[in-house]
């Protein structure tokens, strides 16, 4: 859980960071339909749940790029975590509420999937906004709205506008021209991410889905 402070004076992104922190503090979101046709087929064949698979995929992309791990530490220093873990929402069907749960980042899908199942068994019935306490600082938020195949999604944080980490939301997948598509929304802070980085995120998420047979192993 190493936090690496950024030397702002020698940071190539300094003018952009300072502009979008001091002059025009803003976030932006992008929603893209990810083709999960082959991924779903593989999941059904191997009897693997979709949601933890989605969590694993986005965690892999987040950890592949410093831009998605950049934030402030408790002292207000800007820097980036060496690695991050997902803190995700899950739904309570009986009373239509949700809870947040974080799980450890794992090197491979089999270990991640096992960790997900174990934690859901332990905390899945906890009725609190945070089901597993002591949330580590190196987590990022992920959620899913499986009831709507939205075309856009934006989460508004009414604070000081200094939340730099990505916010990822999946929607309800749907059929179109013989393919199955999943709407995915990514919200980022312009101080650390541009449209290029958001596009890279979506491209690599699509690559994860397309190449699922290479890593979707639980044995």
The kind and range of the H/E element at 12 are: none
For 163, phi then psi, to 5°, come to: -80, 115
Q: Token pair of 8, please? A: 């702002």
Q: How far apart are CA 105 and CA 112, in angstroms?
A: 7
Euclidean distance between the first and the last CA atom of the chain, given in angstroms as a whole number: 28
DSSP 23: I
Cα separations in angstroms, 172 against 52, 130, 175, 183: 15, 24, 10, 7
Pairing of strands 179-189, 167-170: antiparallel
| Placement of tokens 């030397």 in the chain | 7
| Placement of tokens 């932006």 in the chain | 28
Q: Which residues pair with 86 in a beta bridge?
A: 140
DSSP 9: G
The kind and range of the H/E element at 8 are: none
Catalytic residues, by residue number, are 190
């Amino acid at each position: 859980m190493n936090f690496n402070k950024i030397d702002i004076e020698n940071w190539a992104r300094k003018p952009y960071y300072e502009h979008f922190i001091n002059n025009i503090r803003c976030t932006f979101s992008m929603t893209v339909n990810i083709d999960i046709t082959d991924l779903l087929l593989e999941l059904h064949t191997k009897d693997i749940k979709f949601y933890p698979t989605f969590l694993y995929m986005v965690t892999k992309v987040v950890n592949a790029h410093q831009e998605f791990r950049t934030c402030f530490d408790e002292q207000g220093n800007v820097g980036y975590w060496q690695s991050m873990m997902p803190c995700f929402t899950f739904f309570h069907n009986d009373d239509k509420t949700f809870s947040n749960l974080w799980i450890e980042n794992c090197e491979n899908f089999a270990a991640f999937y096992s960790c997900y199942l174990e934690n859901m068994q332990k905390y899945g019935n906890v009725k609190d906004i945070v089901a597993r306490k002591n949330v580590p600082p190196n987590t990022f938020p992920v959620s899913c709205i499986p009831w709507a195949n939205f075309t856009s999604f934006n989460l508004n944080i009414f604070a000081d506008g200094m939340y730099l980490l990505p916010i990822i939301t999946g929607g309800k997948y749907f059929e179109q021209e013989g393919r199955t598509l999943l709407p995915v929304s990514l919200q980022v802070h312009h101080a650390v991410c541009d449209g290029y980085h958001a596009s890279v995120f979506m491209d690599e998420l699509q690559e994860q889905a397309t190449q699922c047979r290479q890593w979707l192993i639980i044995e």
